[in-house]
Amino acid sequence: MKRNYKKQYLLYSVALSLLVSCSGPAEQKAEAGDSTSTAKAMIPDAKNFEGEVNGKAVKLYTLKNSKGVNVAITNYGGRVVSLMVPDNKGNLTDVVLGYDSVKTYQKPKEPFFGAIIGRYGNRIRKGKFSLDGKAYQLDINDGVNTLHGGFKGFYSQVFDATQVNDTTLNLTYVSKDGEGGYPGTLTTKVIYTLTGENGLKIDYTATTDKTTIVNLTNHAYFNLNGAGDSTILDNLVKINADNITPVDTTLIPTGKLLPVKGTPFDFTTAKAIGANINDKDDQLKNGKGYDHNFALNKHDGKTSVATISSPKTGIVMDIFTEEPGLQFYSGNFLTGATHDGKGGKAYPHRSAFCVETQHFPDAPNESSFASTVLKPGQTYHTSTTYKFSTK
């Protein structure tokens, strides 16, 4: 019997076309500058981030550069939802923990995944400080202290957003006088830029109409093995800091500097996060692992202050900042109790680390620390870049 091969080929082509067109928008072939790459990178579904929070519209924005790197950011909390960078085989890997919908970010006790932190990053002792002879009381949301701006910190606010182009997103937020207990109306602008060198640059600017304090940062949770991997203890860390600011049992700095030499905190040469994390050490006990501010030796924005790398993926992250401190946190409070992470994954104990560039914690109460006071007529500005490469 003669077969109509031309007709069969046509039917096969149509079927294949339908199959491809039915692929979900969350799957894209990863190029990452390598035309031979066959990896599939999961991009968050923008529909899950559409809606209203606090009466304002929220949305997911995606930045991408010419090398195939992309970052997804929601204006709810200015959060980095995903960050896709190439591994040493050219496959795109999401290195930031997060959720698949904006609703999940609003759950109680959500751990600040990817958020812009303000007005004040890190802790303030008992939520108290004084300016010009007047005492202020902030929200107490972390034991006896204030953490990351209190109950109404920037992580829970909706920023006004403008995507300038494929690589730049502008976010603005006006924090009213008295919000969270902070004085002055603070107008904040945050610019996310995805550079051609695979860097995620974050520029922070703020002005005030009344003397206040400000310390802005980003709280991305990284795992260079890939988001959802069970551990970061094998990630290698180098921090250009000879001292940390030791803390008490409530994680408030004592006001002194502690040399890292001869301690588990010596990352002046690269070592695995897990190398000394279980050592018997009072500071590790206080932090339940690493949760400490490193006093950076140099912070000119041009010199890498820290380098982290994964032996599994070969991904390397260098950090550049103008801030004097770097909070290194080893994910000690992650539990993996639920599977509500991206792709239904759990985020277990120490499955991510944070590297928050900052002025020192509790600086308003420590005269020896660099000031975080901002006055009318002054402009707060700082810049941090997380730059990715491979080895």
Digit-coded pLDDT (tens) for 118-176: 999 999 999 999 999 999 999 999 999 999 999 999 999 999 999 999 999 999 999 99
Digit-coded pLDDT (tens) for 330-350: 999 999 998 999 999 999 999
Q: Are 196 and 67 in contact (CB under 8 A)?
A: yes
Look at the pTM and tell me if it is higher than 0.95: no
Residues 190 and 104 in one domain: yes
Residues 266 and 133 in one domain: no
Residues 159 and 62 in one domain: yes
Give the single-character DSSP code of 325: E
Residue 26 has pLDDT above 50, yes or no: no
Catalytic sites, residue numbers: 219, 356
Question: Of the residues 185, 213, 241, which one is the last residue of a structural domain?
Answer: 213
Does residue 128 form part of some domain? yes
Digit-coded pLDDT (tens) for 283-300: 999 999 999 999 999 999
Residues 362 and 257 in one domain: yes
Domain coverage including residue 101: 28-213
Residues 209 and 241 in one domain: no
Return the sign of the alpha-carbon dihedral for residues 123, 128, 129, 131: positive
Q: Which of 100, 40, 25 is nearest to 343 (CA)?
A: 100
Residues 181 and 247 in one domain: no
Q: How confident is the model at residue 183 (pLDDT cuts 50, 70, 90)?
A: very high
Residue 276 has pLDDT above 70, yes or no: yes
What is the rounded average pLDDT for all residues in the chain?
91
> Cβ neighbours of residue 354 under 8 Å, at least 6 residues apart?
219, 220, 221, 222, 327, 328, 329, 331
Give the single-character DSSP code of 222: B
Q: Are 50 and 180 in contact (CB under 8 A)?
A: no
Maximum distance among all Cα pairs of the chain, rounded to whole angstroms: 99
Residues 135 and 168 in one domain: yes
Kindly tell me the burial class for residue 137, based on how many C-beta atoms sit within 10 Å of its own C-beta (0-12, 13-18, 19 or more): exposed
Residue 58 has pLDDT above 70, yes or no: yes
> What DSSP line would sit under 91-158, residue for residue?
-EEE-B---SSHHHHTSTT---TT-EE-SB-SEEGGGEEEETTEEEE----BTTBEETTSTT-GGGSB
| Domains: count for the chain | 2
> Cβ neighbours of residue 1 under 8 Å, at least 6 residues apart?
none
The arithmetic mean of pLDDT across residues 61-71, rounded, is 96
Does residue 322 form part of some domain? yes
Q: Are 150 and 181 in contact (CB under 8 A)?
A: yes
> What DSSP line would sit under 17-75, residue for residue?
HHHHHTS-TTEEE--TT-TT---EEEPP-GGGG-EEETTEEE-EEEEE-TTS-EEEEET
At residue 220, the pLDDT reads: 98
More confident residue, 44 or 96: 96
Does residue 126 form part of some domain? yes
CA distance linking residue 283 with residue 296, whole number of Å = 18
Does residue 189 form part of some domain? yes
> What DSSP line would sit under 183-218, residue for residue?
-S-EEEEEEEEE-TTSEEEEEEEEEESS-EE-B-EE
Residue type, 386: Y
CA distance linking residue 294 with residue 58, whole number of Å = 35
Residues 168 and 317 in one domain: no
Q: Is 58 left (phi over 0), alpha (psi -120 to 50) or beta?
A: beta
Q: Which two tokens stand for residue 338?
A: 């639920």
The CATH code of the domain that includes 180 is: 2.70.98.10
Residues 184 and 285 in one domain: no
| 191: number of Cβ within 10 Å | 17
- Beta partners for residue 29, in sequence order: 40
Does residue 222 form part of some domain? no
Q: How confident is the model at residue 375 (pLDDT cuts 50, 70, 90)?
A: very high
Digit-coded pLDDT (tens) for 215-269: 999 999 999 999 999 999 999 999 999 999 999 999 999 999 999 999 999 999 9
Percent of the chain beyond pLDDT 70?
89
Cis peptide before 119 (omega within 30 of 0): yes
CA distance linking residue 320 with residue 323, whole number of Å = 9
At residue 41, the pLDDT reads: 54
Q: Are 96 and 226 in contact (CB under 8 A)?
A: no
Q: How confident is the model at residue 43 (pLDDT cuts 50, 70, 90)?
A: confident
Residues 193 and 238 in one domain: no
At residue 263, the pLDDT reads: 98
Does residue 383 form part of some domain? no
Residues 178 and 261 in one domain: no
Residues 137 and 251 in one domain: no
Does residue 379 form part of some domain? no
At residue 16, the pLDDT reads: 36
Q: Which of 391, 389, 390 is nearest to 200 (CA)?
A: 389
